[in-house]
Amino acid sequence: MSCPVQQNVHTGEKASGTAKVNGEDKPASGEYMKWDAEGVEVVPPEEEKKIYEVSAQFNRFQMMNLCVMGKFTVHRDLPKHLAQGMFAKPGTYDVIMRYSSLTPKIVPDNIPAPRGIGMKIFGIEGEKLYGEDMKTQDWTFNNYPILELRDPKTTYDIADSLERNWNDLATFGKEQSERVDADVATHGSQLPRQQSKLSHLQNVCNTPANMFAVVAMPQYSQSAYRHGDYVAKYGVFPLGAEQKKIENDDVKESDPMNILSQHTRAFHMKNKVTYSFCAQLLQDLKEQPVDDLGVEWDAKKYPFEQVATIEFEPQDSWLPEFRVWWDDRITVNSWHGLKTHQPLGSTNRMRRVVYAESRKLRLRVNGYKDYVEPASLKEVPVPIPPPQFELPLQSAVSTVEVAS
């Protein structure tokens, strides 16, 4: 049974947010909608103007990261509705992935906040959205299935509130709690400490609820993409036995302020980390809107189905050269990839501008004329040992051998 539509306790109005759109007692049709079907994307008037206003706001925000390298394996014998785009043929590809804290201000890890991943997959053949020659496909994810930045206007309003209350986050939180869509606007800040104790994660691609560490979190594309002939949202879910052992652990108030990066680094150095990559296909626009990211697609009625596996052998995710190179020189953009995986919906149209403008600013600040688009792992900086001295709240462990 899916969640009922909740009422906004502050205004008494019906929120249009996290609830799935009725129909939970009826089976899914099993007929997958085409990506260019009428109504999949609807562009409202004045959207482009609002997108550029949002872009100016986001150029003032920031994030942190850890980086790893691994393998992305597309499964064999996928059914037709799944064997689309880069998943049309089986194969194994190199991948680099970054874990991020998606907060505009640097806050301690024991403060509830969204956490995300971005990945770049190498060796992907096919016509690209930007017409580049590089054979890469980018994906971005967040650790809850909906997004409060559900369209350009909402994004502008929330970002404006944040800027006005930059040094008074309590007032910012109060303003968000008074919105008509408060259940969505405050969802990220209500994530438990830490990471994703959300009951609706149960049965999502066989992933249990109550995740603790970054490596044990589910991740969601939140927005829809073209999936070859069809439309899908994507999910990345932990598979490794060691990851599942820590799925019920919590961050404590007494833990170091960088406990998530500290734990993720130690875990990756000692364990193989594995994820499933799943697709959730569009069947009904009334229950699975593409243009409103505040509405969750019911994972029980419209299940996530695995199309690939991601594997990371033990390694150090805190290599300075790798991390700085990622921050300063490359970009991971959901619009960077195959035409058959074109991002869909108003928020993705906004991201196309925001990401490009943010990249330009980052290059100027860091003194570069253009970003680097690596063609393979050979162009990723050769790993070098991190500092051997103790850093504040960060141990001096520097190699997999030492960690084990």
Give the C-alpha separation, 290 to 39, whole Å: 9
Tokens of 114: 């969204």
Tokens of 23: 């129909």
pLDDT block averages, 10 residues each, the chain of length 404: 29 42 72 88 79 56 72 97 98 94 61 83 92 84 80 74 75 75 64 42 37 79 95 96 85 74 88 97 95 90 97 90 83 90 88 72 72 87 57 53 44
Q: What is the pLDDT of residue 10?
A: 28
Q: What is the pLDDT of residue 55?
A: 57
Provide the 10 A C-beta neighbour count for residue 284. Answer: 18
In 195-297, beta strands by DSSP E: 219-220, 225-227, 230-238, 273-281
Q: What is the pLDDT of residue 191?
A: 60
Q: What is the pLDDT of residue 302?
A: 96
Give the C-alpha separation, 274 to 239, whole Å: 5
Q: What is the pLDDT of residue 227?
A: 98
Q: Where are the alpha helices (DSSP H) in 237-345?
A: 241-245, 259-270, 320-329
Give the C-alpha separation, 311 to 356, whole Å: 30
Query: Is the Cβ–Cβ distance between 85 and 226 less than 8 Å?
Result: yes
User: pTM for this structure?
Assistant: 0.76
Query: Is the Cβ–Cβ distance between 238 and 219 less than 8 Å?
Result: no
Of 308, 309, 357, which is closest to residue 333 (Cα–Cα)? Answer: 357
Q: What is the pLDDT of residue 66?
A: 84
Q: What is the pLDDT of residue 326?
A: 85
Give the number of C-alpha atoms closer than 13 A to the C-alpha of residue 98, restricted to the C-beta side: 22
